Amino acid sequence: MLSIENVKSAYGRIEVLHGVTLHVDAGEIVTLIGANGAGKTTLMHAISGVQPITDGAIRFAGERIEKRPAHERVAFGISQVPEGRQVFAPLSVMDNLKLGAWSCRDADLEPALSRVCALFPMLDAILETPAGALSGGQQQMLAIGRALMAKPRLLLLDEPSMGLAPNLVDQLLTVIRALRDDSLTILLVEQNARAALAIADRAYVLETGRVTLSGPAAEIQADRRVREAYLGI
């Protein structure tokens, strides 16, 4: 579904992705783990079109997309849940969700809302509440719900567990698994490598802008370097 070949990206003259190659097959959860500053968010932004690339190719469903603007990539089937949720604080939950559906036809709005509210019943009960008044866990569910409103085929999830209490992380993992089981494809960036590897099918390790390790999640979890550097074992 997604293939990234030798992608480079820079901020000004400072290159932070030095030729990243990875792929995500339809129906997979693939996780990208790595330390602070490794380039995980930059790569997510390069896929969604927020960050330009200086070299390489990004293919989605077989088509080159690296030159397409971000809004076209959303309409094509890629939605990003940004790091730090980035909900529109003064707007109601309902209006945040509607904004996620801007690329859809009017007729698709109600079914999309019903689907998101069924997935997150807690949002259904607070549709008129300003998003800024929500707890961190509720905001994370809203950010995922907003991304789902565009009916993506590929969901980019950037650090969804950040700042959440352990019981909320468990709920979140259950939701991510349910989305995959509902045939959504997911690329998951996480500092919580333990949680990410527990639900992922495959994993990549990104270190200072380069992929240094990749494979089935169980193999990555068992790798001595990963256990020492990311799992604290």
| Binding status of residue 36 toward ligand ATP by CB under 6 A | yes
Q: Considering beta carbons, is residue 36 or 167 the nearer one to ligand ATP?
A: 36
* # residues contacting ligand ATP (CB under 6 A): 12
Residue 208 beta carbon to ligand ATP: minimum distance, rounded to whole angstroms = 8
**Which region among 19-27, 38-46, 97-105, 173-181 touches ligand ATP (by CB under 6 A)?**
38-46
Pairing of strands 185-190, 154-158: parallel
Contact 28, 185 (CB under 8 A): yes
Kindly write out the interface string for residues 5-24 of this chain, putting x where it contacts ligand ATP by CB under 6 A and - elsewhere: ------x----x--------
Contact 15, 185 (CB under 8 A): no
| Binding status of residue 42 toward ligand ATP by CB under 6 A | yes
Contact 189, 214 (CB under 8 A): no
Q: Considering beta carbons, is residue 66 or 83 the nearer one to ligand ATP?
A: 83
Contact 88, 123 (CB under 8 A): no
In one-letter notation, the amino acid at residue 37 is G
| Binding status of residue 30 toward ligand ATP by CB under 6 A | no
Residue 142, judged by CB atoms within 10 A of its CB (0-12, 13-18, 19+), counts as buried
Q: Considering beta carbons, is residue 145 or 209 the nearer one to ligand ATP?
A: 209
Give the residue among 2, 28, 44, 77 at the shortest CA–CA distance from 180: 28
Kindly write out the interface string for residues 179-198 of this chain, putting x where it contacts ligand ATP by CB under 6 A and - elsewhere: ------------x-------
Residues that bind ligand ATP (CB under 6 A): 11, 16, 34, 36-42, 83, 191
